[in-house]
Chain A
Amino acid sequence: MSVRKEEEHVVQRALRRQLLQGTIDRRQFLTRSMVAGLGMAGVAAATKTGIGPAFAADDRPLTPTFYQWIENLHPGIATVNGEFPGINYQIAPVEGFGIERFVAEAKAGESTWDVYVGQTPFVEMTAMKEAGVIEPWDDYMPKEVLDDIIPSIREENTIDGKMYGWPFLLDVIGTGWHSGLTDKAGVADEAPATWDDFLAAGQKVVDSKAAPWGATFDSHGWRSVAPITHSMSTDVYTPEGLFDFTSEPAIEALKLMKTIMAMANPDILLEGATDAGVNGTPDEVAFAAQRVALYFKYFNAPLRMAANWDDPTLLHLGPLPKFPNGEGSTVFWTTGCALFKYGQNKEKAAEYIKALTYDPQIWKDSIVGTPSGHPGQLPPYKSIYADWDANKPDWMPPFVGLVRGQLDRAKAITNNLFGLQQFVIGKPIWETYLKGEESDPKVAMQKVVDAVQAEVKKG
């Protein structure tokens, strides 16, 4: 019985694919389904899951939805949309990374949109999968695209061996510095190789009064604790995929953050201005106001902030410093595309996302900048970097090679339902150490683990 069902399933999938590819019409689909012995129940099931979207695809055009910031930072998207006549381009109702609308629709077995551009794997991909909102791209992503994705990015977008995310915009955490301020302080104009160098440079800036503050960082854990920890070791995840806050590298990261804070803007731990405190953070204000010299965050942050300077060319970028004998890794993530399980036009969506993610103008604009922004986000494909290596464009800044180089050593935060939340829950607890309310970093981090575990147990 089960073998029979499996055969029916295979035939059904093959017929469905042919139907969607247009090699057979609906009449042939139904006839062949009957001949293949699917019976009315099988045909009905196939119709429900397979033909339904195909029929409906006639009714509505390709409907992608984007997180607002992506449209703001990447004006080239409009040009790609022009290649898809009738496309129903929309902005997603996901302010503050909220996915509740997507989940609500999936529970009703429907989706207003076909594809969502704005998914960051460690932030919401597991939740979207668990809630049955998205389906893997495996059936729709061409093999040559799959093979072209940089392996670490491919791993980042994979859960249980399936690609639940189609990567688009790559962010890697590294160092940025204001060379005008470091020159004034007599600091060598080169990326600090180690965290000791980073601290020494920052202290020199403060001592020389070149700027009020020597160095800063974004206090949200995935932008501070995690990358510093990775710079020592990436082997800091539990078998369940949670960040091990009590690991030695994490403890060292916390201690280093406290040392940096002594030369940083005093409001460093405060929440940001937008997206429920996650963005528009104090480090960005300090760096944009040219009051701090050294900074580590995903590269598009210093690039965006330096756009406010009198001379943005004074911004220089480098890899994240490392600990002596450390791995020298960092954290990266991609913001990519999710395929709605109850969406339609799935083949067309894959075609669109391929066009979008390979579009050369989008990448040039992202790297060089446009009047609407300078995201500095990079492509996820090996072939694009290979082309640039073979024929280096005259507009190519050095930071691209640098980021690409860092990526080989960088690691994404492991996908988990608490991938982001573990850092949100932990932040006020580890900050007791940073504020001096708790003297032992190990005690503070153990409390973080306890608090996260308590929430995990609740489900």
Chain B
Amino acid sequence: MAQTIASDQAGVHSNRLGGRAFLRLGTGAWLLLLPALAFFVGYQVWPIVRVLWLSFTDYKFLSNDPSQWVGLANYVEALGDPLMWQSLWRAALFTMMFLPGTIILPLLLAVLIDRVTNRRLATIYRVVLLIPAVIPSTLIFVLWKWMYNYQVGPINHFLVNTTGLFTLQNAPQWLGGTPLTLPSIAIMEIWWGLGYHTIFFLAGLAAIPKDLPDAARIDGANEWQVFWHVVRPRLAPIMMILVVLRFGTAMAVIDEYLIFGGFNRASPTYTWTIFMYDQAFKTGLWRQGYAAAIGMIGAVAMMIVMVLLIRIFRPRD
């Protein structure tokens, strides 16, 4: 409202002052916008344009020969490489394991915490849940790497020494390239983000007027019906944001895969991000033109799915 009045006033003012003054006003606005624009172009647009350009060349980082324009050759090669598809599929598989746990579990927890009437207790729950979110990533990885360690990790110690369900010979191999690797990393990620994501939903719940569920209860709705028909639709915008954001991060995970799986091409952690990194910084003369094409293919694939997710999860009312 205030903005509308201000712009109206500016319009009237500019009409009164004439075109030159209006231009001056516009120039001033552009000048004020310039730092942000420069930052946006320098740090967002230019790297994308640069990578796009690289993807059409045979640029090799270790080579001193000038790079040549190769058109779509890198894309054709990447799309014809089974490793490209396999690595994309692995990333998608991890995302499918990770994403539901990122939405359902925090939502459930948020609903439960929202019902805690004792303020002090509710605060304690929130703080406890947020602890993992404030631990630096390196510590998280070291901690879980130890937890999952085949020989000396507490999980296998529990399974072998405490419960006797397994022996030292057949205990689960959680990390390092086994089929359990992706679910193990997904569990770690879900635990890590649990508090953070729960806070998102708690904020959403706090924005729902209390008389809405109360009215539904008076009308005879049970708790499940209240949740499904009253609460859930009002949390849809938050859910959409979380799904889209977390889909992006899950598909593009790289640190965890490097730490938990290295460059073993048969490992489930050898996803398109590792494939790209491997080509760009490890293999041969570091074919960064080809790596850029891998990156662009991965990014386009992600964008297509993101559009679909936005359509599926967009609020209906």
Contact = CB atoms under 8 A, between A and B. Distances in A.
B265 A130 contact: no
A79 to B, nearest CB: 31
Nearest to B145: A273
Contacts of B171: 266
Interface of B: 60-64, 145, 149-152, 168-171, 173, 175-178, 258-267, 281-287, 290
Contact of B287 (A127, A267, A459): A459
A266 B150 contact: yes
A229 B152 CA distance: 32
Nearest to A281: B176
A106 to B, nearest CB: 9
Please give me the 10 A-B residue pairs with the lowest Cβ-Cβ distance, nearest first: A277-B262, A270-B176, A428-B266, A267-B150, A131-B62, A276-B262, A271-B176, A271-B262, A285-B151, A459-B285
> Is the contact region of chain B dominated by helix, strand, or loop, or is it mixed?
loop
B151 A267 contact: yes
A291 interface: yes
A100 interface: yes
Given A212-B169, A278-B262, A428-B266, 10 more contacts: A96-B258, A103-B61, A130-B285, A267-B173, A270-B150, A271-B260, A271-B267, A272-B176, A428-B265, A455-B284
Interface of A: 96, 98, 100, 103, 127, 130-132, 212, 265-267, 269-273, 276-278, 282, 285-286, 289, 291, 417-418, 421, 424-425, 427-429, 431, 455-456, 458-459
Given A271-B260, A285-B152, A291-B151, A266 B282 contact: no
A266 B173 contact: yes
Contacts of B263: 276-277, 424
A351 B286 CA distance: 34
A364 B290 CA distance: 48
B150 A212 contact: no
Given A131-B61, A428-B266, A417 B285 contact: yes
A271 B62 contact: no
Contacts of A282: 150-151, 176
Contacts of B290: 458
B258 A98 contact: no
A272 B261 CA distance: 8
Contacts of A96: 258
A134 B28 CA distance: 51
11 contacts: A265-B151, A266-B150, A266-B169, A270-B150, A270-B176, A271-B264, A273-B149, A278-B262, A285-B152, A425-B265, A429-B266
A271 B264 CA distance: 8
Contacts of B283: 421, 425, 455
